[in-house]
Structure 1
Amino acid sequence: MPPAHSESILITGASRRLGLYNAKKCLEAGFHVIATYRHRTKGIDELEQAGALVLPVNMDSPEEVAGLIAQIEQSTSSLRAIIHNASGWLSDSENPEDSEPLDTLFRVHMQAPWLINRSLYPLLQKCRGTADIIHMTDYNALRGSIEHAAYAATKAGLESLTRSFAKMYAPKVKVNAIAPYLIIMNEGDHVMAEEGTLPVPPMGLEPGEDVIWQTIDYVMKNSYVTGTTLSVDGGMSLK
C-alpha cells in the first residue's frame, strides 16, 4: 500500500516517450504512481527506483487487463486519476480480408480503457476530491488516415468513450481526452520535414513532452472541465 498521505495515479504505457515522461512528472508532483508496461525498459527501471509500482501487462489481452485490475485493487485504496497512454501504432493490412490491425487496436485503444474505467470506478470514487480519467488520443482521430485507418478509427472511438464516461461519472470523476500532434518526432519524421512532405503546424514541430504534462496538470487542477478533447497540435486543426 502507498503511504496514506499519497494519492495514487495509474498511467498505462509508461515504458517510454510520453508515458515515461508523464509518469516521472507525476512522481515529482508527489503522487504514488502505478505504471504499466508491455516491454521492460530502462525507463521502467528508473520509475521503480523512484518509488513507482510497475506492472507488466499486454493491453491487447482482456485476461491480462483483468489481472492488472485485480493487482491495482489490491495495491491501493483509492485513485486520484487514470491516464490511458498505452497505444499501438499499426498500419492497415494490404490484405482487404485481414482485420487483425483493427481487432488489435480496438482491444488496446477501446476495450482496455472501457474495462479499466468501469472496474476501477469505485477506487476513483474514494478519492478525497474530484478524480480524473484522461484518454490520450490523436490529432488524426477525427480526420482519418490513408494508411492508418484502424488506428484513427479506434482513437476516435476512445474520444467517444470520453464523452460517454464523462456523462456517466460526473460530478465525482472528470473524463477528458488529449489529442496531440507529433510531440516527439521519429527519425523518419525528420526526413519528411526536411523534404517538405510533413505538415507543419503554425506553432512549429516537436514542442517536447512538457506540453502534454502541462495539459494533464491543467485538466487535473480544473474542476469544471469534463467531456472534452483538448487539442495539443500547435494549430494543426486550423489547417
Structure 2
Amino acid sequence: MRKSKFTEKPVSELTGKVILVTGAAKRIGRSIALRLHREGARVLIHYGNSRTEAQETAAECGNAPLFQADLEKVAEIEQLFASIEQQVGRLDGLVNNAARFTKIPVLEVSEADWDFIHSVNLKAYFFCSQQAALLMQRTAGGQGRIVNISSMGAFMVWPDHVHYSASKAGVVALTRGFAKALAPGISVNSVAPGVIPFQEKDDPAIIALARSTPARQPGTGEDIADAVVYFLKASRFVTGQVLQVDGGMGLR
C-alpha cells in the first residue's frame, strides 16, 4: 500500500479499480469480493442462480452492482460485458471464479456430464477473458489484470474427477496462452486452491485430506483472496503464472 499525500490513511493500489468477480455470491468468490471491497476496489458481483446470496454479498461490498448471466452461453457472456460497459463505463480487472464440481467415476461420465463441467469451468473462462480484454482495450487503455481460479485437480490424479481435472488443467493452459496473447498491457495469472471447505468443513473425509497435507489444516477463502489480490497488484512482469495455494498438498 502507499500513502495518499492528503492523508496518513493507507491507500490500496486497488482503490477505485473496477473488478468483476464471477460466481461471487458464495464460497471462494464471496471471499474474494469481500476482500477486494476492503482493498477499496469497486467490485462487480456476477451470479448465475444464487440471487439471494449475491444480494447479501453485494450489500457487504458497499451495495456493489449485480450482474446475472448464465456463463454456459456465450451470448449471455457478451451481454454481461456490454452491460458493464453501459452501466459502469470501464473494467480494470477480472477474476474468473465461477465453476462447477462433480464426482463421477471415469467410465460413467456422459457427454452431458462433460459439457456441464467444461461449459463453465473452461469455455466460460475463455470467453469472459476475451470479452474482458476487449472491454479493457476500449475503456482502460488496454491495461488490466485477469486472474483465473484453477485447482490442484489440474496437477493431481483424482480418478473420480477426471472430467473436472481436465477442465482445470485447461484453465492453466488458457492462462498461459492469454498471458502471451494479451501482453504487455494485460497480465493473466492463475490461483490453484487446495482444500478450501465451507459447508463441508466438518466432513471427516475433508478433515482427513486437509490433515494429510504438510500444513495439516484446510485453507480458507481468505487464503485464496490473498493470492488473488497479489496478482491484481503485481507488476506486469508477473504473468502466465500459477500459484498453488494448497497447504503443500502438491508436495505429497
Residue in structure 1 matched with residue 112 of structure 2 by the alignment: 100
Q: What secondary structure, in the 3-state scheme, does the structure 1 residue paired with 2:203 have? A: helix
Letter in 2 for 1:141: A
Residue in structure 1 matched with residue 182 of structure 2 by the alignment: 169
Letter in 1 for 2:214: P
User: In the aligned structure 1, how far is the partner of 2:96 from the partner of 2:245?
Assistant: 16
Percent identity, please. 28
Trace 1:225-236 onto structure 2 (pairs within 5 A): 225-236=238-249
Q: What secondary structure, in the 3-state scheme, does the structure 2 residue paired with 1:113 have? A: helix
Aligned: 1:55 with 2:67:
yes
User: 5+ unaligned residues in a row in structure 2: which ranges?
Assistant: 1-14
Q: What is the count of residue pairs matched by the alignment?
A: 234
Aligned: 1:206 with 2:211:
no
Residue in structure 1 matched with residue 56 of structure 2 by the alignment: 46
User: In the aligned structure 2, how far is the partner of 1:65 from the partner of 1:153?
Assistant: 22
Trace 1:182-201 onto structure 2 (pairs within 5 A): 182-187=195-200, 190-192=203-205, 196=208, 200-201=212-213
User: Judging changes above 3 Å, is the alpha-carbon distance between structure 1 residues 129 and 214 closer, same or farther for their aligned structure 2 residues?
Assistant: farther
Q: What secondary structure, in the 3-state scheme, does the structure 2 residue paired with 1:161 have? A: helix
Checking the alignment, whether the CA contact within 8 Å between 2:106 and 2:162 is kept in structure 1 is no
Checking the alignment, whether the CA contact within 8 Å between 2:194 and 2:246 is kept in structure 1 is yes
For residue 27 of structure 1, the aligned residue among 15, 37, 40 is 37
Quote the RMSD (CA, aligned, Å).
2.3
Aligned: 1:109 with 2:121:
yes
Q: What secondary structure, in the 3-state scheme, does the structure 2 residue paired with 1:187 have? A: coil
Q: What secondary structure, in the 3-state scheme, does the structure 1 residue paired with 2:159 have? A: coil
User: In the aligned structure 1, how far is the partner of 2:37 from the partner of 2:93?
Assistant: 13
Letter in 2 for 1:171: P
For residue 22 of structure 2, the aligned residue among 12, 15, 19 is 12
Moved over 4 A (4+): 93-97, 196-199
Superposed CA offset, 1:130-152 (max 9, x none)? 52100001011122321111110
